[in-house]
Amino acid sequence: MLKQAGAAIGALLLMLGAAAARAAEVNLYTTREPALIRPLLDRFTQQTGVTVNTVFVQGGLAERIAAEGTRSAADVAMVVDIGNLMELVDRDLAQPVRSAVLEAAIPPALRGSDGRWFALSLRARAIYASRERVAEADAARLTYEALAEPRFRGRVCIRSGQHPYNTALFSTLLVQHGEPWLRDYLTRLKANLARQAAGGDREVARDILAGLCDVGLANTYYVGLMLSGRGGEEQRHWGEAVRVVLPAEGTAVNVSGAVVARHAPNRAEAVRLLEFLASEEAQSLYAKVNFEMPVRPDAPLDPIVAGFGQLRIGAVPLPEIAAQRSRASRIVDEVGFDR
């Protein structure tokens, strides 16, 4: 009997050990570029011993998780753009999380009231202005609305109006001003373009340096990447050519964020990963590695980004911005903005 009891206890311990080993992992599905997120994930594993199994998805992340259904291995889904984040929620692919750690670290405006989504970093949509041809005092007064004024005819550069970064900005303006106003604004903004709306945000700085345009719309962190030298000496010159303007009446922000997947097989580890990503250490890494802005008010900005000035986030709630994306996108097409 003693031998049988000992054998049973031994088998139970083996089972518990195997279960513990299986539990010490978390499966992350993400659209973020590997180089931008890997340092944070490596630090999480070093700190906790939890292995992060990462699946990098270029697009269609929500569709993939939905297709996998209850068999999905996804514990955490991490995306860029508030629209993509809200898609996970709207398609019931996220589960609610109640965490005192997350609620203390992330301001209410940057997380779902039901705990189904959490912003992890901010991406400010700024105005780039030529240091050579736009006076500092004039640049400081620039607004999104001003870029459509006649004085900027042939002087504006921007990437595609259908890019998520611009769609989010146009959605913000749609909520603030209404559909007729946005239609007129985009028509006038298109008339001010120095070239077709195309390329990327870095190319806005490149074309300002080249004298093709004087102002443009782009995200702040690209200037951080350029000025840091990560894009090479040529891109450093692009970054040096522009002044980053954060509109004082309210800067439009987008986010990177994450959810705990509805059928997460490792829920506890998923929550633990989100709590780490919201920690002061991880938020500082976001700022240092990516030049993004932390969601934690107490996390320091990278010095380059801090030099852009104070960020005053616009008042339009993120879910409202996401809800208006399709309308904004339709208006972009109707005015032929990218043609």
Distance of CA 12 to the CA centre of its chain: 45
Q: For residue 29, say whether it is annotated as part of any ligand binding site.
A: no
Distance CA 18, CA 16 (A): 5
Q: What are phi and psi of 198, to 5 degrees?
A: -165, 180
Helices in 106-148 by DSSP H: which ranges? 136-140
Q: For residue 221, say whether it is annotated as part of any ligand binding site.
A: yes
Q: Is the dihedral of CA 122, 126, 132, 136 positive or negative?
A: negative
Q: What are phi and psi of 134, to 5 degrees?
A: -120, 115
Per the structure block, which two tokens stand in for 78? 């991490």
Q: Is the dihedral of CA 221, 222, 226, 230 positive or negative?
A: positive
Residue 77 in 3-state DSSP? strand
Helices in 24-95 by DSSP H: which ranges? 34-48, 61-68, 82-90
Binding site, by residue number, is: 221-222
Binding site for Fe cation, by residue number, is: 221-222
